[in-house]
Structure formats: C-alpha cells, structure tokens
Structure 1
Amino acid sequence: MTSHRLGGTLLALAASLSVVLAPTADAEPRTSTLTLAVLGPEGALHVVRLLCDPPGGTHPAPVRACRELAAAGGDFDELGREDGMCTMEYRPVVAVARGDWDGEPVRWRERFANPCLMSMGTGTVFDF
C-alpha cells in the first residue's frame, strides 16, 4: 500500500511542477536583434544595429523601423511603401539583414537597381 501512496504523491508533485514551470502568457517578450547593412553604389558600406522590444541600437529611427518590421511580421519581403516614384538610373545597392526576429533567425539579402528603389522596397528599416 505504501507504494501506491508514494506513486500518487510523486504524480501529484509532477503535476504541480508542470503548472509552476509552464511558460505563461506574461513571460517577457524576446528581444529582436538585427544587424543591417547597405552596400552602396560607390562601394560604401553602412552598418547599423537595430534592437526591438524595446527599440534601440544605432539605427537612426529604431521605433519606426521596429514598428514597420512588426507590421510585416518580421518578413523583410513584406516591407516598403506602395506609393512613390523613382528614376530608372542603374546604381545598384545591396541590403542585408542578419540576426533574429522574435526568436527566429533572420538571413535576408536583396539587390536593388538604385537607392530609391531600395527605400521604396524597405521603408525606414534600411534608411540610414
């Protein structure tokens, strides 16, 4: 009979620990940390750090950039503005993002025909 009581006690203890150790909805959000780089048309390299939750880093407009990324669900291909016009000059630029967004790894790279098209396609995130 003692083994039944001990087994019941261990089962109750395991159940209570699983409740205590289970993640809650109030758990702290994960900080998103990104290194963003732009290789400009003349070969100039610009690199900034963007932190979200809370916004910060060396990005000149971290609050707006984090808000745009959040609206895009962290998907860099969903960034950008829908209005505007650019000239058709060919001055290629490359935008690169590495790091993590909400705990998920980010590895993104895109080539644009000119800086204006990059700005149209990425909004504030690569505006530095």
Structure 2
Amino acid sequence: MVRVTLRVILGLSLVAGGVAVAAPAVAAPAVAAGSSGSLTEIKLEVVPQQSGQPRFATLTCDPVGGTHKNAKAACAELALVNGDITKVPPQTAGCLQVWIPVDAAAAGTWQGVPIKPFSRTITNDGCARIAYGHVFDF
C-alpha cells in the first residue's frame, strides 16, 4: 500500500506598495517529482567484465513494476528476506562454472528504507540470473 501525504503551506500576508496581498495556499506532495511513488525502488545492473552488453533494470514493489521483466517474482523473493539481496535463495536451475565474470550491482530502497548497496562479481551472466533468485533475471 502506498501512502501519499500532502503538506499545506498556509497563505501569508505580503505587503506590496502598501497593499496587503494574501498568498494562495499551495499543496505539495510528499513524494518528489519524477519518483514512481513506490516505497521500494531498486536500480539493478549486470556489467560483463570482458565483452558483451551491460543490462540495466529498475524494480519497484508496492506496486510491482519497473522495467524488470520478472518484477513480481523478484519482489516476492525480496519480501521473504526483508529486501536483503544477499539472502535471496537462488533459482533451482544450476549454473555452469565458466569464468566469464560480470559485475552485478543494486542500490535503492526497500519499503522506504535505503538498502545496503549490493556489488558482487559473479562467475558469468547466466549465474548472475540464477544466483540471487529472480532479482538479476531481467
């Protein structure tokens, strides 16, 4: 559930050339402009150390969304471990231990609280998609 609170700035009397002018009341949302409004918003990236294309995604939960193709599964897995990516159980598929390293990283918030920045070098892109549940499977 997303809570949106509003702050009201009360009108002030201004004096302009000896005439009192009342400033109108303005309502400002507590959520910054450009924000999704989600209490969970995580930016993810997987960057091959050698050749290949880097992958980027955003993951939002409450409501589920972002550019992550497996957002629903990733949010469900993160919910089980209170947003701690290091504790997300791997997918059941095994990964081949071929050393073509990628750097996986994540930063953002879980339920409104900043997560500990995540950064790991993982054996290869396939293992990055498997090692941390669906989080890096995008």
Q: TM-score normalised to the size of structure 2?
A: 0.65
Aligned-pair CA distance for 1:61 = 1.6
Which residue number corresponds to residue 66 of structure 1?
75
The higher-RCO structure (CA 8 Å, 6+ apart) is 1
Q: Which is richer in strand?
A: 2
Q: Quick check: which has more Rg, 1 or 2?
A: 1
- Contact 1:80/1:120, CA 8 A, preserved across alignment: no
List structure 1 runs of 4+ shifted beyond 3 angstroms. Answer: 26-30
Which residue number corresponds to residue 104 of structure 1?
113
Q: Distance in 2 between matches of 1:82 and 1:127?
A: 10
- Does residue 79 (structure 1) correspond to residue 88 (structure 2)? The answer is yes
Q: Distance in 2 between matches of 1:77 and 1:27?
A: 26
Aligned-pair CA distance for 1:63 = 1.1
Is the deviation greater in 83-92 or in 105-114?
83-92
Aligned-pair CA distance for 1:104 = 1.6
Q: Which is richer in helix?
A: 1
Aligned partner letter, 1:31: L
Unmatched tracts of structure 2, length 5 or more? 5-37
SS in 2 for 1:80: coil
Q: Deviations over 1:51-74 (max 9, x none)?
A: 110101111121111111111210
- Which of residues 26, 34, 39 in structure 2 aligns to 1:31? 39
- Does residue 113 (structure 1) correspond to residue 123 (structure 2)? The answer is yes
SS in 2 for 1:125: coil
RMSD, matched Cα: 2.3
Aligned-pair CA distance for 1:82 = 6.4
Unmatched tracts of structure 1, length 5 or more? 1-25
Q: How does 1:4-23 map to 2 (within 5 A)?
A: none
Count of residue correspondences? 103
Q: Deviations over 1:4-44 (max 9, x none)?
A: xxxxxxxxxxxxxxxxxxxxxx9839610111111135242
Task: Give identity over the alignment, percent.
Answer: 32
Q: TM-score normalised to the size of structure 1?
A: 0.70
